[in-house]
Amino acid sequence: MRFVADALNLTPPAAKRLEERNILRSAFIKHPFFPDIVEALKLEKKFGEFEEGTLIVKTNHGLEIVRGYPKIRRALTLYPTLKRHFKGDVVIEEKMNGYNVRIVLFGNNLYAITRRGFICPYTTEKARELINESFFSDNPSLMLCCEAVGMESPYVMKDVYDVKGLDFFVFDVRDRRTNIPLPVEKKIKLSEEYDFKIAPVLKKCSVEKAHIECRNVIEELGEGGREGVVIKDPEMVTSPVKYTASQSNTSDLSYAFRYFNDYGKDFMLSRIVREAFQSFEFGESVEELEKRCERLGRAILKSMVESIENVANGRKVTEKHRLRFRSEGVMYLFMQQIRKMGVEVIFHEPKFEKGYHVLEFERVLVSTTDKIRHHLEGNLW
């Protein structure tokens, strides 16, 4: 724990107490695939100035801190929220629907860190294949904040981005120790220089017009099944704000109610509240409101009924995934890490196809499965 105390400027007993309170937990499994790392711990929740998901690493070359990605607050109304929050011009970027990854260089290799602070073997292997490592040689203090999207995702599977497998889209470039972001134009310039894909920059406009431009963009994105937008200060001094399309809200609700006992009520309620505020602000007609209600009701009820039918027919409620690995060793390391995370998983026999080790698995939603079975057996709520 000495390296944690040194990195966070704590006494060793204070660092030890963080571990005892489960605020500080292991962030990886030691393996030759992670040759530069001696030890790595992550913060399970915010501690002082350090965000949840902050990674503290002892490498072969010294101590490293990779700050957790800060939470972005959400606008429930576009007007007057954006005008109140921002001054001058704003940039409207697409908020892509995948999982949040920070990519850094430790020693001689790239490492991919998930939102919660795990060093993910699968995502790290993909990063080493797809990301231009010379960026970090030229900019050693920076990290790439990316959305990892595609159907070959261990976390969020989406097929709306024309991505074969999994790919990374940079949405921020930040100093990994201070978390200070680069201005939007600087991020774009660096991404062009090193051939990174970026989350699409859709509009730049005055804050007075931002609510109109956002609505137009949101309606178009929603029709394409995409998630929403992040509205940013071009200089990244004022913190960003996010806003979601209705279709994304209902897609999330369909997912959450399929696994209704595994997802918190806040997750579900917040999305229903978003729908109400959006319907009001967009001044929907009676017919448009009826369509929204129908879409919302279908998302909530249909997926839940399907889960009940699965359990009634003797099956478990599961979420299916298919991943491809270049290395068989990394595949088994990923399997080991998933189990370490406490997730109940059914792994199918791996296959070798076209140069890849293919792993298909089902994540079992234990709480929902047990809850449904409990009530189907005649027990009371």
CA distance 126 to 103: 11
For 207, the token pair is 């804050």
pLDDT number for residue 9: 86
pLDDT number for residue 332: 97
Q: Which residues of the chain have pLDDT under 70?
A: 1
pLDDT number for residue 279: 97
240-269 pLDDT, tens digit per residue, is 999 999 999 999 999 999 999 998 888 999
Strand partners, 324: 358
pLDDT number for residue 31: 96
pLDDT number for residue 350: 97
Domain range 2-66+97-198, CATH class: alpha beta
CATH match for 318-364 among 1.10.4030, 3.40.50, 3.30.70, 3.90.1150: 3.30.70
DSSP SS3 for 243: strand
User: Could you tell me which CATH number the domain at 73-94+202-244 has?
Assistant: 3.30.1490.70
Which residues 6+ apart lie within 8 Å of 228 measured at CB? 94, 95, 218, 221, 242, 243, 244, 245, 248
CA distance from start to end of the chain: 46
Full-model pTM? 0.95
pLDDT number for residue 7: 87
pLDDT number for residue 78: 98
CATH match for 247-312 among 1.10.150.530, 2.40.37.10, 1.20.58.2250, 2.40.160.40: 1.20.58.2250
- Measured CA distances, 329 to 115, 131, 167, 336, 346 (Å): 24, 21, 21, 11, 19
User: What is the arrangement of strands in the sheet containing 99-106, beginning at the earlier edge strand?
Assistant: 109-114, 99-106, 142-149, 167-175
pLDDT number for residue 46: 93
Question: Do the first three CATH levels of 2-66+97-198 and 318-364 match, i.e. the same topology?
Answer: no
Domain ranges of the chain: 2-66+97-198, 73-94+202-244, 247-312, 318-364
Whether the Cβ atoms of residue 146 and residue 171 lie closer than 8 Å to each other? yes
